[in-house]
Structure 1
Amino acid sequence: MSDGTKFISEEEFSGREDYSLATEDVLFNNTNSVDLVGKTCLIEHPIRCGFSNHMTRIRVIRDFCEPRFLALILHDAWRKGMFRSRATRWVGQAGINTMSLSKFEIPLPPLRMQKEIVAEIESYQKVIDGARAVIDNYRPHISIDPEWPMVELGDICDQIQYGLSKPLNTENIGYKIFRMSELVNGVCLDEGSMKYCNISYEEFEKYRLYRSDILFNRTNSIDHVGRTGIFNIEGDYCFASYLIRLSIIANRADPFFVNAYMNSKSFQAGIKQFASRAIGQANINTKSLTSYSIPLPPLDVQRRIVAEIQEERKLVDANRELVERFETKIQRTIDSVWGEGGSR
């Protein structure tokens, strides 16, 4: 299964119903890397499912504890790193056994307050989920006039270039380098966790990114190949080998229009048809990309469309800020349960 789900037959599961999961069971990851041990979730819906020995199932006494509250507190304890020092470690693995988990102390307010806290957090989460739906589903839509000429991408570019194939580092040595993961919702985004490439200034100059350059992800899974973003930030940046730089000729096309069209569903579906596939990978070469035709209205029309899209992006960005604000509200609420950051 592509989502990593594992299965056993009904015959194998027969007689092991004690390992079935029920709604509002709490699952605690008892064995994993030291960074992941302690990760916790709640079973929210009925499911025909068992669990492995790397998981500990917790069923609470309902007169004392709300399952959702316990799942929130244990998961937050994992996020805070509280299980790292408690875990038994061996090569590449760490574990929290049942005895150690049973002695782990958590704050436990009265049941009524637990339910109020859960309700408060769930109300915040609904806002986050709605905002994320906007962020995840927004794609610029361009209504195509059939009178617009079709132009090959190669005809509106004065440079089309593969990126650097060099070792990367996380020690801030050299120059920041864009990878596929930093192409987010049509823009090149530096969120503070970029890798670096230690190259000479002369080599960097060959791969330096300039404002309005477009980066196209040529090699990845079929879902991610074709991901595109425009570079529009200050600073010294270069780009990795599995990206292609497109530099648009300014008097032929607006780079922001081209980028918007390349992020549209129509373009993404069309360009993926030219992807060659290998095991787990897909590739779109420069020949396929540069010969791909896009509709190109007059420059003034392009700029008007870009202005409309930029207004839409402001609304998307507002939803992104909403997510950050309400995630902070959730964390403050949980922190207050632990006695951090004052009272609720």
Structure 2
Amino acid sequence: MNDRENVALSELLATDFDGTWGKEAEANEGTPVIRSTNMRGGRLDLSTASRRVLSRDTVARKKLLAGDILVNKSSGSAHLVGASVLFDHEGDEDYVCSNFIRCLRADRTRIDSEYLYLALQSPQFKEQVFGAQRTTSGLRNLKISEFKNGVLPLPPKTEQHRIVRRVTECLSQVEEIAILRENLIKEGDALLPSMLNETFVSLEASYKTAEIGELALETRYGTSSKCDYDETNTPVLRIPNVARGFVNFCNLKYCGLSNSDLEKLALRQGDLLFVRTNGSRDLVGRCAVFDGGTNDTYAFASYLIRVRLDTQKMRPEFLAFFLNSTRGRVELDQRRRTSAGQYNINSTNLRSIAVPTPPLSVQDEVVEELESRQSTVSALQVAHTETSSQESALRDAILRKAFAGEL
């Protein structure tokens, strides 16, 4: 890439503009609007674009063309601000982007759209414009004028096309690895419930069942008091702290609770925590056993339900495994309700779920065996997840070489 010049992004655009939002449309009506949630990992998913009521004039001015580049302007996460995707859809239906997205349209007399898109992904460009972020009301925002001041190498069009072909060839191999890894993780997610199901189908055939309400000492909702990051207060577990069958202590928030509230809400080892409401159907009913943590005292938030079992009747780990099995998920799914776009399960419905009740000695044997299987599956998933950072580093290395003239 010897025959090149460095040119500001602003000089390489035919136009650029913010998207729009409009009013909510009826199902299958209105104009599809692309949001940042449709832009993940450099991929554009049009299947979940939101449909909005927009005027013909607005659609005519804002409609996207194949080759447009969509840049995320605002997010609570720094790494998502400035993230972009290439709009390559060609069809009868017009799409627009939301007001949180900036559309960049290349001046194709000077620069190829795909070359421009790849150049925006390069570490060299990102290093220039990372400082173009501003924070307001907890959100990070992209300052467009500074973003457009970033400079890009501009070789002749024939060289641009060669670079696009070479980078696309290299990145496609990385993408194949990423897809394989994602599929293996999904298979792992499906494998454990299936293994659990075999166990509990057998147990149901051999032992009586009892409802959770008969096995529980109490069920309780958590605190609805506002939480913050003041670590002098009591740590409060929330929905993100109940994931993949375990309680984690990441990104904790804290709440100043009275002694009487703390007496009711303090968690004990062996308490089961359930997600009771969420916009995602699959997350509602997700559960895990609280095993202590590093603090003396933890409380829990209102979107969780705590079930405290009579451990002389039921081991909490046994119940958690049952509810994470295919059979348990069916029971939870039958009890979920939806309201205002949120899925919910209440304590009454939760208490009505019937569970096989073998002797405690059998429960302990089952838990030991299932924990061993769970550890194996989790270790495989962790190993595959860790390769994600290696894939990201490989992408960056390819792009850095390409736009340094070394590929």
Matched, 1:6 2:51: yes
1:1-344 equivalent positions in 2, closer than 5 A: 3-6=48-51, 12=56, 19-22=63-66, 25=67, 27-29=69-71, 31-32=73-74, 37-43=81-87, 48-52=93-97, 54-58=101-105, 67=114, 71=117, 74-75=120-121, 83=129, 85-86=131-132, 94=141, 97=144, 103-106=149-152, 111=163, 114-115=167-168, 117-140=170-193, 141-143=196-198, 144-145=201-202, 146-190=205-249, 192-199=250-257, 203-221=261-279, 223=281, 224-236=283-295, 237-336=298-397, 337-338=399-400
**Cα distance, 1:233 vs. partner?**
4.6
Residues in 2 aligned to 1:193 and 1:90: alpha-carbon distance in whole angstroms:
21
**Cα distance, 1:215 vs. partner?**
0.7
AA aligned opposite 1:246? V
AA aligned opposite 2:69? L
Ranges in structure 1 where 5+ consecutive residues have no aligned partner: none
Greater percentage in strand: 2
Residues in 2 aligned to 1:30 and 1:115: alpha-carbon distance in whole angstroms:
22
Provide Cα deviations, 1:41-99, integer angstroms capped at 9, x if missing partner: 134676654334743245697x98793x76466357699685453369999895555x8
**Cα distance, 1:291 vs. partner?**
3.0
**Cα distance, 1:239 vs. partner?**
0.9
**Cα distance, 1:255 vs. partner?**
1.4
Aligned-residue Cα RMSD (Å) equals 4.3
Residues in 2 aligned to 1:256 and 1:313: alpha-carbon distance in whole angstroms:
12
Find the residue that maps to 1:204 and give its secondary structure: helix
User: Higher mean Cα deviation, 73-82 or 222-231?
Assistant: 73-82
Aligned partners of 1:128 and 1:322 also within 8 Å: no
> What TM-score results when the alignment is normalised by the length of structure 1?
0.76
Greater percentage in helix: 2
Residues in 2 aligned to 1:153 and 1:55: alpha-carbon distance in whole angstroms:
51
Find the residue that maps to 1:142 and give its secondary structure: helix
Quote the sequence identity (%): 23
User: Higher mean Cα deviation, 132-141 or 107-116?
Assistant: 107-116
Aligned partners of 2:71 and 2:104 also within 8 Å: no
Find the residue that maps to 1:246 and give its secondary structure: strand
User: Higher mean Cα deviation, 88-97 or 201-210?
Assistant: 88-97
Residues in 2 aligned to 1:302 and 1:277: alpha-carbon distance in whole angstroms:
34
- With over 3 angstroms needed to count, the CA separation of the structure-2 counterparts of 1:56 and 1:277, relative to structure 1, is closer
Find the residue that maps to 2:267 and give its secondary structure: coil
Aligned partners of 1:213 and 1:247 also within 8 Å: yes
Aligned partners of 2:221 and 2:305 also within 8 Å: yes
Residues in 1 aligned to 2:335 and 2:187: alpha-carbon distance in whole angstroms:
29
Residues in 2 aligned to 1:309 and 1:185: alpha-carbon distance in whole angstroms:
14
